[in-house]
Amino acid sequence: MENLMNAELEMEMQDMEDTVEDFEPQDDLEVGESVDDDQDIDLSEFTPSVCNQQGRTVSKAGAMSVVSSKNGTRVALSQGVIEHLHHPDSIQIGFSDHQIAIAKHLGDHYTSYSMKQSGTKSIIYCKELVKQITERYGLDFRNRTSITLSEVKYVGNGNSTVAFIQVDKR
């Protein structure tokens, strides 16, 4: 049975290779060839794209994103925040009415969260942390999967730095 499946897979792969080898580009231009700017263009065979574009507010870069979706929950910290905190392996998080404090060490009563790298972001995979942030600040994920917080202030604390991320209760 396995041999039959492997043989079928090989035949499909060969068919795909044959199709790719037989493919000839239909465009008159070769890669790297220049374009004649004075040439008239006939667009009569094209159908125009027509739709209403929804405007999006573009804010400054995010310091922290809270993600809550069916694919998982996590907190993502930007590369800038991690650099200001001197690239810790783990962080601690504290809450006030309108700010989240983040540092390598805030105190012995705080939980330390390890982080994983994903591109330029440092990710904390902790469903309970996302739940705490969501409930404390009334974050609404009904029409979105992530909320990004952009306003951050850094304060030196002895030999370390604390990031204070502004959160407006929603």
- pLDDT at position 55 is 57
* Span 79-105, pLDDT tens digits: 999 999 999 999 999 999 999 999 999
3-state secondary structure of 135: helix
Q: Which amino acid is at 32?
A: G
What is the bridge-based pairing of β-strands 116-118 and 160-166? Answer: unpaired
CA distances from 75 to 11, 49, 82, 137, 145 (A): 46, 37, 13, 14, 12
45 versus 61: which is more confidently predicted?
45
* Domain assignments of the chain as residue spans, ordered by start: 64-166
- pLDDT at position 53 is 63
**Contact by Cβ (8 Å): 49, 67:** no
* pTM score: 0.64
Q: DSSP assignment, residue 168?
A: -
> What token pair was written down for 60?
């400054």
Radius of gyration of the chain (CA): 26
* Span 7-60, pLDDT tens digits: 444 444 444 444 344 444 445 545 555 555 666 777 778 777 777 766 555 455
- Residue 161: name the closest of 103, 92, 96 by CA: 103
Q: How many residues does the chain have?
A: 170
3-state secondary structure of 11: helix
107 versus 4: which is more confidently predicted?
107
> What token pair was written down for 42?
């006939």
Strand order in the sheet with 116-118: 116-118, 121-124, 72-77, 64-69, 146-149
- pLDDT at position 16 is 43
Q: How far apart are CA 150 and CA 57, in angstroms?
A: 13
* Span 119-161, pLDDT tens digits: 889 999 999 999 999 999 999 999 999 999 999 999 987 788 9
Q: Which amino acid is at 126?
A: C
Range picked from 10-14, 38-42, 61-65, 73-77 for highest mean pLDDT = 73-77
4 versus 33: which is more confidently predicted?
33
Q: Which amino acid is at 127?
A: K
**Contact by Cβ (8 Å): 146, 123:** no
